[in-house]
Amino acid sequence: MVSGFTIIRNGLKFDFPFLESIRSALPVCDEFIINIGASEDATRQSIEQLSLRLPQAEASKIKIIETDWPLGDAAKRQGGQILADQTNLALGHCKNTWCLYLQADEVLHEEDLPIIREQLSEWRSNQKVEAVVFEYVHFYGSYSVIQTSRSSYRREIRVVRNGLGIRSTGDAQSFRHTDGRKLNAVLSPARVFHYGWVRPPEVMREKTGFMDTLYHPTATAEKPATGDNYVYKRIVGLKSFEGTHPNVMRERVQNAPVFDFSAAPKVFHVKDSWKLLSGLIENSTGIRPFEYRNYKLIKP
């Protein structure tokens, strides 16, 4: 019923929790497609080693495809298009009704797996449902701090129906029909734990430098187009995380160094006043004013 899929390149070098991501999704998937870009580290070998440690029933779900990202093509390094292209290659190998997508820094919580199974089974024959939207928990700088302002999207499509010509778009954040139409989606309470902004500062700088080259053709790894965006700061919307991490993240969280936010620079811009007001409205009503959505929410 469910095909999982993801892409990864230099997963170890840039400290992606990609193994944890894969493990978190396997229980709800009948197969899991991994598009591995030609890497400078042992990314593929680490996935193969993971397969050897898993029970056979789980390991047999993993299917690897290898690609060579066209990093020399400036047209592909505009707005993160190369990420959507690679995501679509993985999506094209999915065989089941539902296709569950996780980026390499996104992890599902085991508490949410039953509801994911239940909802996908319930909506399987409902052709109105083209996609499923999950809630997001964005960590920032530390495994004990989350970013809650409108700077971070609070929901996104992470399951799409196969066979409709649905494609990953932009920088692979979301999905659309081939003609650009938004998908008819239903909202699930299942959460995606997003750890993309939790890395040692020096690794964050290196990763940001590379990622910038996928968005800006003239950028170099040495001179990120986004300036000091990689530097952890005391920004609007940071809160202490009060919940539990997925079990697959336990070892990583326990072994992580503690980042001292008291030493981080505090920043506040004029536009942050709107973020504060928006946050107050959201906290009191559950509505995020003027929220952009990559999808159309429907009732199943």
Phi, psi dihedrals of residue 244, rounded to the nearest 5°? -115, 150
- CA 288 distance to own-chain centroid: 21
* Amino acid making up residue 293: R
Cα separation of the two ends of the chain: 18
pLDDT higher than 90, residue 287: no
pLDDT tens-digit readout, 153-167: 999 999 999 999 999
For residues 52 and 48, give the distance between their C-alpha atoms in angstroms, rounded to a whole number: 7
For residues 208 and 211, give the distance between their C-alpha atoms in angstroms, rounded to a whole number: 5
Chain mean pLDDT for the chain = 92
The DSSP 8-state label assigned to residue 199 in this structure reads S
Better-scored residue on pLDDT, 54 or 259: 54
For residues 226 and 162, give the distance between their C-alpha atoms in angstroms, rounded to a whole number: 36
pLDDT higher than 90, residue 181: yes
What predicted TM-score, i.e. pTM, was given to this entire model?
0.93
Please answer whether residues 131 and 98 qualify as being in contact, where contact means their C-beta atoms are separated by less than 8 angstroms: no
**What token pair was written down for 141?**
């700088």
Q: How confident is the model at residue 223 (pLDDT cuts 50, 70, 90)?
A: low
CA atoms within 13 A on the CB side of 155: 21
pLDDT higher than 90, residue 192: yes
% of the chain residues with pLDDT over 90:
73
Please answer whether residues 35 and 67 qualify as being in contact, where contact means their C-beta atoms are separated by less than 8 angstroms: yes
Instruction: Please give the C-alpha separations between residue 299 and each of 56, 130, 157, 185, 190, in angstroms, as whole numbers.
Output: 38, 12, 15, 8, 17
Burial of 247 (0-12, 13-18, 19+ CB in 10 A): middle
For residues 219 and 280, give the distance between their C-alpha atoms in angstroms, rounded to a whole number: 37
Q: Which of 100, 126, 94, 123 is nearest to 113 (CA)?
A: 100
Give the residue-averaged pLDDT of 192-202.
Answer: 95
Give the residue-averaged pLDDT of 175-191.
Answer: 98
pLDDT higher than 70, residue 245: yes
Domains and CATH numbers, the chain: 1-300 (3.90.550)
**What token pair was written down for 87?**
């995501």
pLDDT higher than 70, residue 187: yes
Task: Report the interhelical angle of 43-53 vs 18-25 (nearest 10°).
Answer: 40
Q: How confident is the model at residue 244 (pLDDT cuts 50, 70, 90)?
A: very high
Least confident of 78-87, 241-250, 274-283, 286-295: 274-283
**What token pair was written down for 232?**
């952890």
pLDDT of 226 reads 62
Q: Which of 6, 5, 9 is nearest to 213 (CA)?
A: 9
Identify the three-state secondary structure at position 285.
Answer: helix
Beta strands in 181-261 (DSSP E): 183-197, 238-240
pLDDT higher than 70, residue 273: no
For residues 46 and 8, give the distance between their C-alpha atoms in angstroms, rounded to a whole number: 12
Burial of 262 (0-12, 13-18, 19+ CB in 10 A): exposed
pLDDT higher than 70, residue 118: yes
